[in-house]
Structure 1
Amino acid sequence: MTPPEAVIFDIGNVLIEWQPERFYDARIGAERRRAMFAAVDLHGMNDRVDMGQGFRDVIYEVAEANPEWRAEIRMWHDHWLDLAAPVIDRSVRLMRALRARGLPVHALTNFGIESFALASGHYTFLGEFDRPFVSGHMAVIKPAPRIYEMVEADLGLSGDRLFFTDDRRDNIDAAAARGWRTHLFEGPDGLADRLVAEGLLSAEDAA
């Protein structure tokens, strides 16, 4: 089987851990966090940012609409780099090993415009992709079919010429429906094994 011609990484929970609940558990306690997440659609709020709306504007708007949780909701903006942490080091090494072999490596991520700029300034490896496809700039989020169409059109590649890894089953299923080779990310060890199986890395490179 011919290896894929490009690899596409999701970022959250593939290259950088993204566990807002864990952050809030540490800051305000699990019981209060559960109450806040039940009362306020914080992931829906984040989807608006990922669609390209203003990072601070959206979060502060939701905070003002929920005064009981105002201070806590503002943390989503004010302490954002603490939410998006830590780096998954082995995943970054795999990404760099692929690039070292001359393979095009891209990102396809649900990320806001300003939050991606903030993350890129802090996590410099985010500047190493051949092409970062960031939902905020594209005004569409995974798993909408349109975002995958836009990637194909930009790269001039489609179907099994693309290999995509993401931690969410719905995002993977949407890519697989277009014929992309996919890997549901459950940890860097499994991804390393799959990259070797696809002929993209040697076992030594993937170690």
Structure 2
Amino acid sequence: MAVPLIMQNIIVFDFGGVLFDWNPDYLYRELIANDAERAFFLEQVCNPAWNIEQDRGRSFAEAIAIKSAEFPHYAEQIAAFYQRWPETLRGLLPEGMALYERLKAAGYPIFGLTNWSAETFPYAWEKYPFLHEIQNIVVSGHEKVIKPDPAIYHIMYQRICAHYPDTLAEQIIFIDDSALNAEGARQVGWHGIHHRSAEQTEQTLLAMGLSF
């Protein structure tokens, strides 16, 4: 049931790098001991450009097949990206979570907008109950579109309006550790904060007039 918007602003959190400590290096330190080889693997094989396509909705089966054909000698390590994916997620970032908790306690409506594979997000949903407190979460892998495509911000806006029909774009504050994604939010009329640290983001929010 739609309810009136009580607070002036709505907070939308990105997850990785803001609330979650995710890094493939955590896994590949165990699989590839040599620093130079591991750097090559994460820059040229299972690299961000490859991984973001899973966030866009490509299946891991297809992704692994593509890379294994290109780098057959790394087939085992490529397959591990999905098979041992939980080892890439170290846990929560305490400072980011403290900021989240303070904003939630102050009564600000909180939503989530994340570039995340539909195949791995269920792990986080099961292991991290705080996600169930968030009013709505847009997962790129479910929507087949990733930040900073304007379409995914519009999807999030529609979800927000389902809860708070009178929301204006300028009421929405988006916190993301990617400068590109924060700028994408600004392009659709939101306030985009490039999250470099919880302290800096807090100071930005306070300067904007939020009270928490």
TM-score, structure 2 as length reference? 0.84
Give SS of 1:85's match. strand
- Alignment root-mean-square deviation, CA: 2.0
Whole-Å separation in 2 of the counterparts to 1:38 and 1:134? 25
For 2:180, give the aligned amino acid. D
Structure 2, unpaired ranges of 5+: 1-6, 162-166
Which of 110, 132, 149 is the matching residue for 1:144? Answer: 149
Give the conservation status (yes or no) of the 8 Å contact 2:46–2:78: no
1:5 is aligned to 2:15: no
Select which of 168, 173, 176 maps to 1:166: 176
Candidates 109, 122, 141, aligned match of 1:117: 122
Alignment correspondent of 1:197: 207
Displacement over 6 Å in runs of 4+: none
The more displaced of 151-160 and 88-97 is 151-160
| Aligned match for 1:52, one of 54, 57, 67 | 57
| 1:105, distance to aligned residue in structure 2 (A) | 0.3
After superposition, the Cα gap between the structure-2 partners of 1:158 and 1:112, relative to the gap in structure 1 and judged at 3 Å, is farther
**Count of matched residue positions in the alignment of Structure 1 and Structure 2:** 199
**C-alpha spacing 1:163/1:63, structure 2 compared with 1 (3 Å):** same
Q: What's the TM-score, normalizing by structure 1?
A: 0.86
Task: Output the CA distance in 1 between the equivalents of 2:76 and 2:136.
Answer: 36
Q: State the partner residue of 2:36.
A: 31
C-alpha spacing 1:103/1:70, structure 2 compared with 1 (3 Å): same
CA 1:4/1:112 → structure 2, altered by over 3 Å: closer, same or farther? farther
Query: Identity percentage over the alignment?
Result: 28
1:15 to 8, 13, 19: 19
Unaligned segments of structure 1, at least 5 residues? 203-207
Per-residue deviation, 1:194 = 2.2
Tell me if the contact between 1:16 and 1:87 (Cα under 8 Å) persists in the aligned partners: yes
The residue matched to 2:77 in structure 1 has which SS? helix
What letter is aligned with 2:130? F
